[in-house]
Structure 1
């Protein structure tokens, strides 16, 4: 059984300053401990992870030694691997940044981190654009929009993702108060950036007569989004299927229903290409790949689009792949993952655990992905 890979970072010092009345924990952990504060971040992370027990067999965590994650995961019976080692002594902001980098290099689907606004700042400083993260609230200051409303909410949302529920991506602000100013009675907040965070997405909304999720309107919306975001000089490969054919029609482009077409600067430059032609077009040129899923079955590669071969996929890059599918189509999978079967086992195993799905105007969802077995 293929496992879903999650990253976990616990800031064991988060929240210590609150009970001690220190308005935060940045730089005052030792003082807070001396005043009798006890660490709470591990317990709050436990509350989140308890929600994942029903899907435990489907998970593998990547984490760090001791209180940064390994101790708790071992105690709760979760499968995990260490993504790196840490220097001896109390954990630091540098440890968090190092951990974020290591987890991204390992290709985790989602990074869960427990802390407060200071921890979110450290995550923001190291995270790459587009890496999904979600905060488990455990600090004194929780002003950033990257935290779940509660530890349990963080766990439930993560479980929803693992089980194939539709999870929308959003941009959350990272903000932090100046603790030194706060201790002097002044409130001074600062914006530090934004993180890509999942938020609870609805399944298919109520539609009239059950005929269409108004799929035609969804494709019009998607066309408007794509038309406004074409990258100059980049070649867009449109896979076969009615979804992408309809999207192209709304862009005023004549593509083939069951073929693979290539678009550059808003114009079709190659229609119904074979594998060799496609490889020649993308091998030495920036490219993006748009594909859709077979409704009810879930294959996105290896069924009806063999022109998009392993060497084509490697030339384009897996991070430049996007699935285009309406929420109605995804709902027909009933939580089953999307599937890849490229014929290259090594490549199939290199795909991430989740894929980004364009489902509406500026609406991206995260959806589980698995290799065909």
Structure 2
């Protein structure tokens, strides 16, 4: 089996510092200046380790430097370099690397929706699979975690299915206007249990349902406790119930009915959690089931360790659409994800809740 690997080394940079994306050199430079640390290479290494543990005889072809070579070396996997990029950070590098990796049985690419779009534009000739590492991972061509990507690659038998590639206008995204555009489809391994699926919206749930969840959350808030509200339409409804205008797609912190901090970074959220009792209020991503790790990277492992508790919100329709699949957490730290796993109470309305399983995205399905 021959596997190709291409890594977008700057994927995900904007998430922890509340930039809501990482596309473009200006955003990447700002993210680095704000203290964001690249994680894509580590995610690629984790995928390769999972693949190597299950199929040690595979051949790896990759790209020089941070676009694959460094991750292969860290994973202890033999590799052959087939392309040397010019810039290491631009979409043109990804688009040039994909044709150089033609002829592999499966191409692993590491990044987010922007990287998936670049792979699609390059015209891959065979099967591909995304290793999630971006801020936005709404496309259906990604595995649910690096571990799942490696395990799926190891068991790949050539059977594929079509998966959609979508992306957002990041400038509009930062302004709170979410409108995913369908760019096309990629052929991915037919391993539905390990694929994240495409994100879906909350349009099937009536506004009264979301507002009833918001009333339940506000009624349960305790004086003196800080509440960090993650992105999502349901958490925005909590803000409206409090009479506050929250940051669309950002993380805001409220206390005693007032806005304490707006559109916080991971570092700001950590400082707040270390100085006072802080509780997280998080909504579920429709169609995918993620609670942690998609668009809310401000809730890092070190922040999660400091929280007094987590409240999960979802409409009954959103849970039903999962078809029995668990809710997922992918913080980037397996120990943190394991600690968050297990039965959890999910608020579905005013005085309504259900017990639903949360599972680490790195747990073998």
Cα deviation digits, residues 128-174 of structure 1 (max 9, x gap): 45x1000000000011110001111111111112xxxx563110000
Cα deviation digits, residues 8-41 of structure 1 (max 9, x gap): 0010000001011011000111110001100111
SS in 2 for 1:51: helix
1:60-139 pair list within 5 angstroms = 60-87=59-86, 89-104=87-102, 107-128=103-124, 131-139=126-134
Match of 1:20 among 7, 17, 37: 17
* Kept in 2: contact 1:160–1:167 (CA 8 A): no
Whole-angstrom distance in 2 between the partners of 1:109 and 1:14: 24
* Kept in 1: contact 2:48–2:77 (CA 8 A): no
Deviation (angstroms), 1:186: 0.9
Whole-angstrom distance in 1 between the partners of 2:8 and 2:123: 16
The size of the alignment, in residue pairs, is 191
Whole-angstrom distance in 1 between the partners of 2:149 and 2:140: 13
Match of 1:181 among 165, 169, 172: 172
Equivalent residue number for residue 280 of structure 2 = none
* Kept in 2: contact 1:167–1:200 (CA 8 A): no
SS in 2 for 1:58: coil
Equivalent residue number for residue 140 of structure 1 = 135
Change (3 A) 1:30 1:90: farther
Whole-angstrom distance in 1 between the partners of 2:83 and 2:9: 17
Whole-angstrom distance in 1 between the partners of 2:97 and 2:161: 23
1:1-373 pair list within 5 angstroms = 4-27=1-24, 28-55=27-54, 57-87=56-86, 89-104=87-102, 107-128=103-124, 131-161=126-156, 166=157, 168-200=159-191
Whole-angstrom distance in 2 between the partners of 1:193 and 1:158: 22
- Compute the TM-score of the two structures, normalised by the length of structure 1: 0.49
Deviation (angstroms), 1:200: 1.8
Equivalent residue number for residue 316 of structure 1 = none
Change (3 A) 1:150 1:177: same
Deviation (angstroms), 1:76: 2.2
* Segments ≥4 residues shifted beyond 6 Å: none
SS in 2 for 1:136: strand
Note the residue ranges of structure 1 that are not aligned, 5 or more in a row.
203-373
* Kept in 1: contact 2:3–2:106 (CA 8 A): yes
Deviation (angstroms), 1:90: 4.0
Whole-angstrom distance in 1 between the partners of 2:79 and 2:189: 22
Whole-angstrom distance in 1 between the partners of 2:94 and 2:111: 10
* Kept in 1: contact 2:127–2:188 (CA 8 A): yes
Whole-angstrom distance in 1 between the partners of 2:169 and 2:7: 22
Deviation (angstroms), 1:49: 1.4
Deviation (angstroms), 1:75: 2.6
Cα deviation digits, residues 93-115 of structure 1 (max 9, x gap): 000000001101xx100000000
